[in-house]
Amino acid sequence: MKRPWVSLWVVALIAGLSIAGCATPSKTQNAGKTLNQAKAAGAVYKAPFEYNAAEAYLKKADFQVEKGDTKAADSFAQEAQTYADKALEMSGGGAK
């Protein structure tokens, strides 16, 4: 009688872990898109520090994803997004 509950719990745990792991690629993709927009707006010259910081954090996030460290990858992806947003804003490519 207890067996169905154990099976259900295991399925729920696996589903939860797989959903939790999906957030990181999305975050890195979003940061990458923003970084590409910033580059197109001239951030390489108009906001070089912010652009290069975003690029470095994005590379670090991708590396952490490959290693399987999603917590660190999320942190680096968030930093990449922050700097990419700032670079986009400073280069005049963002919404005003």
For the chain, domain boundaries: 23-90
Contact 64, 73 (CB under 8 A): yes
Q: What is the pLDDT of residue 51?
A: 97
User: How far is residue 46's CA from residue 74's CA, in Å, rounded to a whole number?
Assistant: 27
Higher pLDDT, 72 or 3: 72
> What's the pLDDT at 62?
94
Can you tell me the distance from the alpha carbon of 1 to that of 17, in angstroms, rounded to the nearest whole number? 26
The whole-model pTM stands at: 0.74
pLDDT digits (tens, 9 = 90+) for 13-69: 454 544 445 557 889 999 999 999 999 999 999 999 999 999 999 999 999 999 999
Tell me, what's the pLDDT at 3?
61
Residue 10 has pLDDT above 80, yes or no: no
